[in-house]
Amino acid sequence: MSGLGGLNKTPGGIVISVVQSQLLTVRTPEDLAKAVAHVVSLVSRTKRAYPATDLVVFPEYCIHGLSMLTDASIMCTMDGPEVAALKDICRAEKIWGCFSIMEKNELDPDHPWDVGIVINDQGQLANYYRKMHPWVPIEPWYPGNQGLPVFEGPGGVKMSLIVCHDGMLPEMAREAAYKGAEVLLRTAGYTPPIRESWELTNRTNAFANLMYTASVCLAGTDGTLESMGNAMFCGPEGDILVQGSNSVDEIFACEIRPDEVRRRRRHWSVENNLYQFGHRGYVAVQGGASDCPYTYMQDLVKGQWKTAEDDEVTVKDGTSIGYAPPTHKFGEAGPETRN
């Protein structure tokens, strides 16, 4: 049930629109300004096309393109003109918006943050997220250091935002659901070879956590790279509610009914996996077992992560893509900052 692709909204429901915005070439401050103006225009277009929209979601790299440039002149700050323009349009159109920026990193200026932000319909910041799992070895971004927040979106619906490769790791969706998220937003800049994995993980993340997933990629080409579009809404049983194409700047919408999540999480017995994960075998054991029998979790907490193939892994940094080897450990200041 999608409310006829977001054209209808029932009491208690919200409408989310996703925009397969054009993959742009952004190498200069002038390019960046044009990209921001393009996104701003698409916010207004979304409101005209789908007046019931409560939240509009743009892909990762929507204003930076896929060049992976880290030049300071095109990096954003939260108090800079790019974020200000996004806040202004959300306030003017009375709509929530989810956007992507590459943000300057004072900890390590050579490796900016890949940031997702959500702005409410009053033009105020409602969510700030630093991508936890950059797509290595391709992406140079510093790994997120603030965890995965859950926020109250329009209508009080609990949401979380992950970015691109984050969604390939089931622990990310589980973390969001464990903290109460009813809708998982996923923004990406993926290219066509990832299409099947994209659909598989969007559906699995929804079903394994009894949540909605709303996911969107860039679309089109910058003359070298091509993004796949393929926006997708999945229901809490993993069914595809709305699926996009690869059309540039196309908008797709879906009604989200949070009661469908709450009902399943509260009243399901079979396949209520979010609850049952921490209450193993409650038929046989009072309250179920809530231990941690998973070696990978125990080792990660101890800082001793090592897979069975660790010693044979051949790609362990970005040198194969042309990046210099990293010179400091996670959480340490970079060389320029230390001096």
Query: Radius of gyration of the chain from Cα atoms?
Result: 20
With a CB cutoff of 8 Å and minimum separation 6, the contacts of 48 are: none
Query: Active site residue: 9, 47, 60, 93, which one?
Result: 60
Q: Does 60 participate in catalysis according to the annotation?
A: yes
Alpha helix stretches (DSSP H) within 75-169: 81-93
Instruction: Output the six-digit token pair for 320.
Output: 């194969």
Which of these is catalytic: 62, 76, 90, 164? 164
Q: Is residue 113 a contact partner of residue 106, using CB atoms and an 8 Å limit?
A: no
DSSP 8-state code for residue 34? H
Q: Are strands 232-234 and 240-243 parallel, antiparallel or unpaired?
A: antiparallel
DSSP 8-state code for residue 316: -
CB of 232 closer than 8 Å to CB of 36: no
- Sequence length of the chain is 339
Annotation marks residue 90 as catalytic: no
Count of other CB atoms within 10 angstroms of residue 268: 15
Are 235 and 260 in contact by the 8 Å Cβ rule? The answer is yes
Is position 164 annotated as part of the catalytic site?
yes
Which tokens hold the place of 67? 């060049």
φ, ψ for residue 263, nearest 5 deg: -60, -45
Instruction: Give me the half-sphere count of Cα atoms (radius 13 Å) on the Cβ side of residue 188.
Output: 30
Choose the catalytic residue: 131, 139, 217, 234: 131
DSSP state of 257: -
Active site residues: 60, 131, 164
